[in-house]
Amino acid sequence: MSARADWPDLLAELDRWAQAGRRIAFWLRDDDAVAPSDQLDRLAALTERFGAPVLLATIPLLAEEALARRLENAPLLFPCQHGIRHENHAPAPQKKAEVGAHRSATLVLSDIAQGWQRLRELFGARALPVFVPPWNRIDPGIAAALPEIGLAGLSCFRKFSLGAPGGPVLVNSDLDLIDWHGGRVGRSAEDLLAEMLALLVQRRTQTEGGAQFGLLLHHRDHDATTWAFLENLLARIGGHAAIDFVRPPALFALPVDLEHASGGAMVAGSIGAFSVPRRPSDPPAEDATRDVPQPHRR
Where residue 165 falls among pLDDT bands split at 50, 70, 90?
A: low
Model confidence at 268: pLDDT above 70: no
CB contact at 8 A, 82 and 60: yes
Look over the chain and give the mean of its residue pLDDT values, rounded to a whole number.
85
Quick one: what percent of the chain has pLDDT higher than 70? 84
User: Mean pLDDT throughout 53-62?
Assistant: 97
Cβ atoms 172, 284 nearer than 8 A: no
Task: Provide the pLDDT for residue 270.
Answer: 30
Quick one: 189 exposed, middle or buried, by C-beta within 10 A (0-12, 13-18, 19+)? Answer: middle
- Mean pLDDT for 25-48 is 97
Tell me the percentage of the chain whose pLDDT exceeds 90. Answer: 66
- 261 vs 120, residue with greater confidence: 120
Which residues, including other chains, have CB under 8 Å from residue 240's CB and lie 6 or more apart?
A: 11, 14, 18
3-class secondary structure, 274: coil
Region 31-56 average pLDDT: 97
What is the model's pLDDT at position 166? Answer: 72
From residue 142, give the alpha-carbon distance in Å to each of 62, 70, 97, 209, 292.
Answer: 22, 32, 13, 32, 22
Report the pLDDT value the prediction gives residue 283, as an integer from 0 to 100. 32
Nearest C-alpha neighbor of 259 from the set 270, 247, 268: 247
Between 4 and 6, whose confidence is greater?
6
Question: E strands, 34-154, where?
Answer: 54-58, 77-82, 130-132, 153-154
pLDDT value for 152: 94
